């Protein structure tokens, strides 16, 4: 089974702010996106790593690569207007791989156990979507206020989301819709069923400066 991982890091990090987009900021002395790439390389040194970057920051990545000298090489692809388009661009770099993971470049804390769980489920069922429970009570807004939702009926969705090649390629041949915030949604809109699997609470998506504070703490205790 040949594997590929598309690491989407083509965003501009508006909610985080800073001199460079969050995927290039340092945690534990290393750029966030390098943590994500390294996790997939550690899982399988043979995996085809595809890195989607903002066109205007490809040269920054080249400088970081020279500075940090990762043990692996990556195929670099320019991103698109929305995350969906960045994934679509990443898919153009797929060659003969059978199973493809799509992962947010700003989720640095994934380990080989979790990545393996995702590839294994996708190999068996065609799709694998990691989710975690909500520990908070949940409310939905309605026209005259809000009402509670049954907490056990909702899940928080993470990446890597992993697919057989034919599933993800067919799903991404659709036209873009606003509701396409993750691959699971795109695949379901194309008629595929998705398999939910157990995610990991430490698999934080770095979105705001508060997340960066948490990421610094996790990084100081992370073993890699």
Ligand X SMILES: C[C@](O)(CO)[C@H](O)COP(=O)(O)O
Q: Which of 23, 36, 159, 194 binds ligand X (CB under 6 A)?
A: 159
How many other β-carbons are positioned within 10 Å of the β-carbon of residue 176?
A: 14
CA angle 123, 128, 132 (to 5 degrees): 145
Q: Which of 3, 48, 57, 83 binds ligand CTP (CB under 6 A)?
A: 83
**First vs last Cα of the chain: how many Å apart?**
25
- Please name the residues in contact with 223: beta carbons below 8 A apart, sequence gap of 6 or more: none
Cβ nearer to ligand CTP, comparing 56 with 98: 56
Stretch that binds ligand X, among 65-73, 153-161, 189-197, 209-217 (CB under 6 A): 153-161
DSSP string, 89-151: HHHTT--S-SEEEEEETT-----HHHHHHHHHHHHHHSEEEEEE---S-EEEEETTEEEEE-G
Among ligand CTP, ligand X, none, partner that 113 touches (CB below 5 to 8 angstroms by kind):
none
Among ligand X, ligand CTP, none, partner that 181 touches (CB below 5 to 8 angstroms by kind):
ligand X
Separation of alpha carbons 219 and 211, rounded Å:
12
The answer to whether the CB of 15 falls within 8 A of the CB of 24 is: no
161 binds ligand CTP (CB under 6 A): no
104 binds ligand X (CB under 6 A): yes
9 binds ligand CTP (CB under 6 A): yes
| Burial profile 160-173: b = 16 or more Cβ within 10 angstroms, e = fewer | bbbbbbebbeebbe
Q: Which of 8, 102, 129, 219 binds ligand CTP (CB under 6 A)?
A: 8
Stretch that binds ligand CTP, among 14-22, 93-101, 110-118, 189-197 (CB under 6 A): 14-22
- How many residues touch ligand X under the rule CB under 6 A: the total is 8
Interface with ligand CTP (CB under 6 A): 8-15, 21, 23, 52, 79-83, 86, 104-106, 205, 207
Interface with ligand X (CB under 6 A): 83, 104, 157-159, 181-182, 205
């Amino acid at each position: 089974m040949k594997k590929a991982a598309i690491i989407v890091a083509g965003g501009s990090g508006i909610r985080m702010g800073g001199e460079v987009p969050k995927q290039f900021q340092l945690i534990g002395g290393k750029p966030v996106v390098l943590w994500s790439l390294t996790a997939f390389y550690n899982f399988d040194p043979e995996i085809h790593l595809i890195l989607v970057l903002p066109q205007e920051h490809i040269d920054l990545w080249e400088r970081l690569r020279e500075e940090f000298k990762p043990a692996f090489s990556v195929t670099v692809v320019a991103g698109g207007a929305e995350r969906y388009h960045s994934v679509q661009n990443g898919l153009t770099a797929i060659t003969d791989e059978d199973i493809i993971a799509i992962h947010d470049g700003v989720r640095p804390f994934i380990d080989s156990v979790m990545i393996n769980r995702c590839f294994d489920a996708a190999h068996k069922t065609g799709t694998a979507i990691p989710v975690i429970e909500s520990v908070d009570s949940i409310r939905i807004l309605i026209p005259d206020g809000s009402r509670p939702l049954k907490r056990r009926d909702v899940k928080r969705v993470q990446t890597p989301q992993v697919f057989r090649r034919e599933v993800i390629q067919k799903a991404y041949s659709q036209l873009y819709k606003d509701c396409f915030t993750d691959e699971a949604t795109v695949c379901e809109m194309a008629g595929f069923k998705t398999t939910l699997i157990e995610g990991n609470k430490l698999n934080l998506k770095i979105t705001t400066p508060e997340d960066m504070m948490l990421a610094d703490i996790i990084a100081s205790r992370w073993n890699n």
